[in-house]
Amino acid sequence: MKKKIFTLLAMVMVAMTASAKIEGYALTKGANAHGTTTIKVGDAEADSAAEGTEVTVVVTPAKDYYVATVVARLYTTWGGAKTRGTSMQIDSKLLASKVKDKDNTYTFKMPAANVEVSVSYIESMEVETKEADNEDKAVDNVQVGIVPSNDADPYIDTETGEAVVPVEANSIKVPDQAEKTDVTVVIKPRTKSADGSVTYEIGKIMKNSFVTGSTSNAQVVGVFFEKSKNAIVIEDGAMTVDGRVLKVQTDISMLDDYANMTSLEDNVKQGVVSATAKPKNMYWTFSSGIDVLLPKGVKAYKVLWNNNAAEIVELTEEELKLKDELRGIKANNGVLLSCDSGEGGAEYVVVASPAAKITGAKPATDDAKSYTGNCLVPTIEDYNYSPASSYRMMHGNKFHTMSANGKVPACKAVLKVK
């Protein structure tokens, strides 16, 4: 009898345990190519957890690998097969968050659904090279070594749904070339990983990132920074290789952001920090947060607003005079430029003045008003002018009234008429 009661009790306990397990949701391991993953609830490894329970994921990467993302995705099972994303909004959500000061440990609150934990790793990133000045030869298979950023955590871009991993560049590998080859490296703000699982976002260039080694017959002579939301931080010395100062090129809207960096001071002094402008028409407006040299084949004007007419007055040699007797456009002034050819379409190289004052800070956005009577206002950063009726903007060689929509792009200027 006692034995029967004991057996019944045991069966009830088993049944209770089973019912408790039904209340929980499954925790499974997904992709993990270069390390091991341990999923825990409390201190014990777990393959299920109740809603609201804190789940910890500990990742141990293989040697020379860094964790890129830890993604916890919800899924349901149907007929034994996993069906991801009963709710696709949740499916693409990064649930895990990194525990501060505890490398490779991540936590999340268990949702009311099964969860699959996948880990991706940072691998070197392929970059393009660019032909420049007909001296540099583009080469293939150039890899930049990257490590996770110390300043930012991975996140999901709400616009694109991409898992974005902030990284820092720390080395470069250029395949050996048959003959001595100069390379200009193109740094895009975002690059898909080789397997397409994550998107790398370069936030910093570390020293020695572009050193190819004394035995290599390929050398980096320049770096082109494509347009990005924020300028990439450049560590001191990163743009000098073996005593050679690298050419730094960027989008015209970011010339002042880069030229104002103290880490690029030597490059600015050598006159190798530049951007290329390709105006669509003969007349184009310009402004910059740093002094720039006036490109050849271009004239600079201030614009006066008289009796509802936009009068243009060419800047005098005195007005064009920069520090150290250089000739160009002073920082934080709006100017109108015209192509001597009488039409647009050609490219003009705008060089940061070697004598420019480098602040090390983000360029100021105010109007320096260096040219008497000038009604052009500099647009140092993308800006929406309001009320729009107080301004006119250049387009197709004429000044137009403008709507309240959109933003005037950085490095342009608008005509203030009221």
Partner 1 sequence: MKKNIFCKILMALAVVVMPLALTGCDNEDVWAYPVLVRGDGVNINTHELTIEKGKTLQLTAQRDVVTHGQGMAWKSSDPEIATVDQNGLLTAIKAGEVKITAYTTGGKVSDEGYLFVTVVNPSVGVVDDQLDQSDAE
- Pairwise CA distance, residues 261 & 276, whole Å: 19
> What are the residues whose beta carbons fall under 8 Å from the beta carbon of 385, sequence distance 6 or more?
391, 402, 408, 414
Distance of CA 338 to the CA centre of its chain: 32
Find the binding residues for partner 1 in span 47-66 (CB under 8 A).
none
- Pairwise CA distance, residues 337 & 334, whole Å: 10
- Pairwise CA distance, residues 333 & 409, whole Å: 15
For residue 6, the SS3 value is: helix
List the one residue out of 122, 26, 41, 40 whose CA is nearest residue 75. 26
73 binds partner 1 (CB under 8 A): no
Other Cβ atoms less than 10 A from the Cβ of 275: the count is: 25
Find the binding residues for partner 1 in span 254-313 (CB under 8 A).
279-281, 283-285, 303-304, 308-313
Q: Are strands 244-245 and 328-329 parallel, antiparallel or unpaired?
A: unpaired
Please report which helix (H) or strand (E) contains residue 127, including its range: strand 125-130
CB of 362 to partner 1, least distance (A): 22
Of residues 255 and 394, the one with the C-beta less far from partner 1: 394
89 binds partner 1 (CB under 8 A): no
339 binds partner 1 (CB under 8 A): no
- Pairwise CA distance, residues 240 & 222, whole Å: 10
Please choose, out of 80-88, 144-152, 249-257, 400-408, the segment that lies near partner 1 by the rule CB under 8 A. Answer: 400-408
How many residues sit in the footprint of partner 1 (CB under 8 A)?
39
Other Cβ atoms less than 10 A from the Cβ of 320: the count is: 19
CB of 356 within 8 A of CB of 290?
A: yes
409 binds partner 1 (CB under 8 A): yes
74 binds partner 1 (CB under 8 A): no
Question: For the window 341-380, what string marks contact with partner 1 as x by the rule CB under 8 A?
Answer: --------------------------------------x-
Of residues 311 and 343, the one with the C-beta less far from partner 1: 311
Residue type, 293: L
CB of 303 to partner 1, least distance (A): 7
394 binds partner 1 (CB under 8 A): yes
- CA angle in degrees (0–180, nearest 5) for 351-352-353: 105
CB of 396 to partner 1, least distance (A): 7
405 binds partner 1 (CB under 8 A): yes
Of residues 156 and 388, the one with the C-beta less far from partner 1: 388
CB of 353 to partner 1, least distance (A): 24
Of residues 139 and 310, the one with the C-beta less far from partner 1: 310
Of residues 160 and 401, the one with the C-beta less far from partner 1: 401
Q: How many CA within 13 A on the CB side of residue 282? A: 8
170 binds partner 1 (CB under 8 A): no
Of residues 237 and 406, the one with the C-beta less far from partner 1: 406
Find the binding residues for partner 1 in span 97-156 (CB under 8 A).
none
Tell the burial category of 395 from Cβ atoms under 10 Å away from its Cβ (0-12, 13-18, 19+). Answer: middle
395 binds partner 1 (CB under 8 A): yes
Binding site for partner 1 (CB under 8 A): 279-281, 283-285, 303-304, 308-313, 336, 379, 384-385, 388, 392-409, 412, 414
